[in-house]
Amino acid sequence: MTSAANPSNFNELGLIPELIARLSDLEYTQPTPIQAQAIPNILAGNDLIAGANTGSGKTATFALPMLQTLFLAQSAKKTASKGNFVSGLILVPTRELAAQVADSVKSYSANFNGAIKTVAVFGGVSVNTQMQALRGGADIIVATPGRLLDLISSNAIKLDKVKTLVLDEADRLLSLGFTEELANLLALMPAKRQTMLFSATFPEQVKLLTQELLNDPVEIQVQSKEESTLVQRVFTVNKGEKTTVLAHLIKQHKWRQALIFVNAKKDCEHLASKLEKRGVNAQVFHGDKGQSERSRVIEKFKAGEIEVLIATDIAARGLDIEKLPVVINFNLPRSPADYMHRIGRSGRAGEVGLALSLIDYEDFHHFKIIEKKNKLRLEREEVTGFAVNQANLDAADALKNEKPMAKPEGTGKKKNKNKANQEDDVWSGWRRK
């Protein structure tokens, strides 16, 4: 791990005046820890692996040096006409994140007088508009992998001249099954380039990817100070009472906005209608909604026009909702890593945030796993007026004493090993030539 000196203002990072002035307009008074450590290294041309929590300021971390390098190269007329090529490619796992990151990049480049063209490319919306936007090439593309491949196959863009590649939310890119698309895209890029990989977690798949993809990378792991501004609480409730408790909490606390996570699309609608019967108006956000509807809902939620939003995990990553006061796990996420992503929607960039989880006895065991994997230990609380009754406590005990199911022979470790080998095979085509 590199421990670079920690500059405490943007002037010390080596950024050009156009960017410094823009950051001042945006009221970024000092770099976040990841910005302070990573930006000088990126400007020096190093590859980078960064482990950073959501809300740590990682978008500016890769966007600022990328913009600076491209802008300086253009000013020195080192870059020829764009043709249908792109210099900087940022790959992200979701459509919302693509739109959000592209907006940030455009905002950071406001003082470049249009010299740097950034285009967002993602599925669910008309491909023609994006083809038009790409006409004449682009300096930076922020893309989800599938749509980018579509545009490449219709010759709208070429990756032969990519100089900088960013994999944002790499763990999510892989867990959403973009492995093959990534391999196809990487095969189209020049081996000589700068690559940066950002990931909140480093499961085996991501580690393999970093080994194959990065060239002597600088490694930065940031424990963001922001973490401490997020308060996590867990409430035990009786089975079947979660909705009543949730409606009670929403009415009692009158949160400006609340983001509620469930695990399935149909659960979004179901919970929304049950809340409505209890006098709470909620909107839903999930993958079955068309892209324009998804964007509309997020915009309204961001603007505070929607107070309660019920979402699946597509909202768990990357979404930056300023000053989101509370995230509630109505259902626990299956993956412990997703717990961290969900709660990271609140308490971003040093704001005070609150993450609540409602658990009934069937969740007890899984919540312990979430705690263990995330090195957490939270006190179990009860909501006043909704004490857990004896029947539920007994049911919890009975479940605890149940013997775990025996695993069928021939499964277990051996199977995992095979899986790891398969993953090895997937990455083997990605090696730098």
Interacting positions 320-339 with ligand AMP (CB under 6 A): 320
Please work out, in degrees rounded to the nearest 5, the angle formed at the alpha carbon of residue 84 by the alpha carbons of 82 and 85.
65
The only residue of 66, 348, 354, 358 in contact with ligand AMP, by rule CB under 6 A: 348
Please state the closest distance from residue 227 (CB atom) to ligand AMP, in A.
13
CA separation for the pair 39, 33 (Å, rounded): 10
Interacting positions 369-398 with ligand AMP (CB under 6 A): none
Please state the closest distance from residue 314 (CB atom) to ligand AMP, in A.
16
> Nearest to residue 199, comparing CAs of 164, 172, 228, 223?
172
- Residue 403 is classified by DSSP as P
Please state the closest distance from residue 31 (CB atom) to ligand AMP, in A.
5
Nearer to ligand AMP, 62 or 386 (CB): 62
Nearer to ligand AMP, 82 or 95 (CB): 95
Interacting positions 301-320 with ligand AMP (CB under 6 A): 320
Angstrom distances, CA of residue 233 to CA of 177, 345, 353: 32, 15, 11
- Residue 412 is classified by DSSP as T
Residue 370: Cβ within 10 Å count: 24
- Across 160-229, where does the E strand assignment appear? 164-167, 194-199, 218-222
Q: Rounded to the nearest 5°, which phi and psi values hold at 205?
A: -55, -40
Please state the closest distance from residue 101 (CB atom) to ligand AMP, in A.
8
Which residue is associated with the tokens 């149909």?
A: 266
Please state the closest distance from residue 57 (CB atom) to ligand AMP, in A.
3
For 44-143, where are the alpha helices, taking DSSP H only? 58-75, 95-108, 127-134
Please state the closest distance from residue 55 (CB atom) to ligand AMP, in A.
5
Nearer to ligand AMP, 152 or 349 (CB): 349
Please state the closest distance from residue 296 (CB atom) to ligand AMP, in A.
21
Interacting positions 122-151 with ligand AMP (CB under 6 A): none
Nearer to ligand AMP, 320 or 360 (CB): 320
Please state the closest distance from residue 35 (CB atom) to ligand AMP, in A.
6
CA separation for the pair 74, 179 (Å, rounded): 33
Q: In what order do the strands lie in the sheet with 283-285?
A: 283-285, 308-311, 258-261, 326-329, 353-359, 230-236, 380-381
Q: Give counts: helices (H), strands (E), the chain.
A: 16, 14
Please state the closest distance from residue 166 (CB atom) to ligand AMP, in A.
12
96 touching ligand AMP, by CB under 6 A = no
Nearer to ligand AMP, 320 or 338 (CB): 320
Residue 90's H or E segment, with its range, is: strand 86-91
Give the total residue count for the chain.
Answer: 433
Nearer to ligand AMP, 206 or 222 (CB): 222
> What spatial distance separates the first Cα and last Cα of the chain, rounded to whole Å?
26
Number of residues that bind ligand AMP (CB under 6 A): 14
Interacting positions 8-67 with ligand AMP (CB under 6 A): 28, 31-32, 35, 54-60
Nearer to ligand AMP, 105 or 159 (CB): 105
Nearer to ligand AMP, 5 or 191 (CB): 5
Interacting positions 247-306 with ligand AMP (CB under 6 A): none
Nearer to ligand AMP, 35 or 179 (CB): 35
Would you tell me which residues interact with ligand AMP (CB under 6 A)?
Answer: 28, 31-32, 35, 54-60, 320, 348-349
